[in-house]
Amino acid sequence: MERGDCARGVMNLARLESQQQGSSDSDTATAAEAIYPHAFSGGRPSAGADVYLREPLVRKLVEFFESKGLASIKEEDRHEQWYEDWIAYQGTHQLYARLLSPREHSRLGTEFDLLRYTRFLEVCGYFSPAHGYSLQVTFLGLCAILLGGNANLKREAIAALEAGGLLAFGVSERNHGSDLLGNEFTITEAGPGRFVAGGAKYYIGNSNSASIISILARKENARGTGHSRRAPIVLFALRPNESKGIGGARKIRTMGVRSAFVGEFEVKDHEFPESDMIAEGRQAWDAIFGTVTLGKFFLGFGSIGICEHAFAEAAAHLRGRMLYGKPAIEMPHIRATMAQAYARLTGMKLYAYRALDYVHASSAEDRRYLLFTAVQKAKLSTEGVKVMALLSECIGARGFESETYFEMALRDVQLIPGLEGSTHINLGLTTQFIPRYFADSQTALAVLPSLVAGEVTSQENAYLFEASTGSISAIAFPHFLNAYRPLITIGNVRLFAQAAKAFQLLARERDVSRTMRPDTPPTLAMGQCLATIAYAQLVAENVVRLNVPVPMVAAIFHALVNDFSAAVITLGSCSGSDVIRPDRFRRMIRVPRISDSECEFVSKQLAGILPSDWRQE
């Protein structure tokens, strides 16, 4: 079978499936355009951005930033100045309330529509990640409350949003980082149904302005026997404007999201009633983990938006930059590097919006999303850093000029892998999935319909606000090679599938669940290998559903085969790793190919991010 046949095969399969689901060819064509990187600014947005701009809340967002202009955004960034105007604007239009309120509590008749929310996050990242951060943190504060058991607080939080307010999530402490059991913020019982809280929090977004901060604390007994890692944890609602016990509040100056407010504060002798308790014990842990699971996933859409804007700016600059009598973008190595960046960024969108299908369809019976949210954090956010590095190689000095979006993007994109659980933590979590992912389960799991392809309508998933932590060993996956079958005639996909198969054999030999200690270099390297395989799986699933042309698929899998080979070399060479048999090693380390015509195809495609009249602000 030739590649052209394969392309037709892939298209026919996707068309057939979408017709079976009731969506038309033209819908699929528009949806397919939306999955490529887009420009949302600069006078006229790129063609596929229409799908985003049809959403009224996204249009409101674009109107604000277009009227504000990049120069003002950069000015605020330079002066680390809080964006009052945006907070007032979003409040007037009730943007955060409309995006985040679940159906059950919304008095505006809205719901927590997942596709709308993630597209909004992408476009917000495109204009200003710092502004997006106030929404991200509001989501975290709200989600913790929604996952708790206090109905009055849920209503109060939604009412605060509908009045234009913000929320915050107060988990981190200066001396304890990711070690939540080490946290020292405490509450003690002061009498029946009354508590006194004290401690300090650090790195808390929106702490200058939140109506409610969801605070993680330990519940010590009244005899004051001192701090204990075994004391039960609680989440309670702190209203900074109403409490006299808050002091020492200040902004922490960060390299990225500089106009946002990330702060520290102390709480002393803050008395509160039982009705401010969000959750205790097991329910409080579930609320923290459920919130972080979603929060870390949503951050990835911000990464995508950051890379899209930086891409559009770099491409425009390189088109206008004349070197040796030609636009710089025509130099072969610049062309090839920009094509690589474009293929990686398209891969990020294909992955993230397919992972969204798993979040959208998740239930107590289907918790596969727990792997894909960890991979979004571990792999996709670092892909964003790689895309920025590739673009930076091409754009040269212009990317460091302080008037550009680009120099802000270079700083902001690097924050994302570290927030809401680091890359390490998520690689460790990914490793735990290895036995289940490769179990060759015969379970007949439904093939999930695609939101972006219009095979299903986006809506709220109430399960996400009641999800509790549970054993990973009960999660089933279909055969891990299924996703590649429709694409197997594409050489780089075939190489990837062969390497993944060899890794399955290696993982079985190592019996990961019983023999590997957590947090060691070999464990994290195994996690990196599985993260790359799970990432490729979802990219492949979306490629088929969205009719992505073969040369683009070849370019995306070119990068994935390289990434997988690099992960295997790290695994084979890190301290403490068992020696990998040479024959197994050879099967996992592959050399992908990309032809001139495939590279040319991607280069032509990337011009689509810019409308012909695109101007740089």
Ligand X SMILES: Cc1cc2nc3c(=O)[nH]c(=O)nc-3n(C[C@H](O)[C@H](O)[C@H](O)COP(=O)(O)OP(=O)(O)OC[C@H]3O[C@@H](n4cnc5c(N)ncnc54)[C@H](O)[C@@H]3O)c2cc1C
378 binds ligand X per the rule CB under 6 A: no
State which residue, 241 or 597, has the beta carbon closest to ligand X.
Answer: 241
Dump the DSSP string for 387-403: HHHHHHHHHGGGGG-TT
**Sole binder of ligand X in the list 102, 205, 551, 572 (CB under 6 A):** 205
For residue 420, count CB atoms less than 10 angstroms from its CB and return exposed for 0-12, middle for 13-18, buried for 19 or more.
Answer: buried
CB of 136 to ligand X, least distance (A): 8
State which residue, 49 or 567, has the beta carbon closest to ligand X.
Answer: 567
**Sole binder of ligand X in the list 137, 217, 380, 487 (CB under 6 A):** 137
48 binds ligand X per the rule CB under 6 A: no
Piece in contact with ligand X (CB under 6 A), picked from 411-419, 452-460, 499-507, 544-552: 411-419
The tokens 């060759």 sit on which residue?
440
259 binds ligand X per the rule CB under 6 A: no
CB of 140 to ligand X, least distance (A): 6
408 binds ligand X per the rule CB under 6 A: no
CB of 180 to ligand X, least distance (A): 8
What would the x/- binding string for ligand X be over residues 477 to 516, using CB under 6 A?
----------------------------------------
Task: Tell me, rounded to whole angstroms, the distance of Cα 141 from its chain centroid.
Answer: 17
In this structure, are residues 598 and 339 in contact, taking their beta carbons and an 8 Å threshold? no
Quick one: CA torsion of 337, 340, 346, 350, rounded to 10 degrees? Answer: -160
169 binds ligand X per the rule CB under 6 A: yes
Encoded tokens for 535: 């990432």
**Sole binder of ligand X in the list 177, 247, 273, 320 (CB under 6 A):** 177
How many residues are given for the chain? 617
Which helix H or strand E contains 331, and what residues bound it? none
Segment 509-528, which members bind ligand X (CB under 6 A)? 519
d(CA 58, CA 453): 19
Closest CA relative to residue 137, chosen from 207, 61, 65: 207
183 binds ligand X per the rule CB under 6 A: no
Q: Which residues contact 312 (CB under 8 A, 6 or more apart)?
A: 37, 39, 41, 42, 46, 609, 610, 614
In this structure, are residues 77 and 258 in contact, taking their beta carbons and an 8 Å threshold? yes
State which residue, 375 or 560, has the beta carbon closest to ligand X.
Answer: 375
What would the x/- binding string for ligand X be over residues 416 to 455, using CB under 6 A?
--xxx-x-xx--x---------------------------
DSSP H helical ranges for 272-422: 281-320, 332-360, 369-375, 381-395, 405-412
CB of 246 to ligand X, least distance (A): 16
In this structure, are residues 95 and 57 in contact, taking their beta carbons and an 8 Å threshold? yes
Residue whose CB is nearest to ligand X in the complex, by number: 177
- The CA-atom distances, in angstroms, between 561 and each of 463, 557, 566 are 36, 6, 9
- The CA-atom distances, in angstroms, between 485 and each of 30, 82, 389, 496, 540 are 25, 51, 32, 12, 9
Piece in contact with ligand X (CB under 6 A), picked from 113-121, 202-210, 336-344, 365-373: 202-210
CB of 287 to ligand X, least distance (A): 13
CB of 383 to ligand X, least distance (A): 18
CB of 256 to ligand X, least distance (A): 6
State which residue, 177 or 273, has the beta carbon closest to ligand X.
Answer: 177
What would the x/- binding string for ligand X be over residues 260 to 289, using CB under 6 A?
--x---------------------------
576 binds ligand X per the rule CB under 6 A: no
By CB under 6 A, how many residues form the interface with ligand X?
A: 22
d(CA 399, CA 42): 18
d(CA 478, CA 12): 23
CB of 519 to ligand X, least distance (A): 4
d(CA 24, CA 15): 8
SS3 breakdown of the chain: % helix, strand, coil, rounded to 5? Answer: 60, 10, 30
CB of 431 to ligand X, least distance (A): 10
State which residue, 419 or 526, has the beta carbon closest to ligand X.
Answer: 419
**Sole binder of ligand X in the list 257, 339, 499, 550 (CB under 6 A):** 257
**Sole binder of ligand X in the list 21, 254, 489, 570 (CB under 6 A):** 254
- Residue numbers of the site for ligand X (CB under 6 A)? 137, 169-172, 177-178, 203-205, 254, 257, 262, 415, 418-420, 422, 424-425, 428, 519
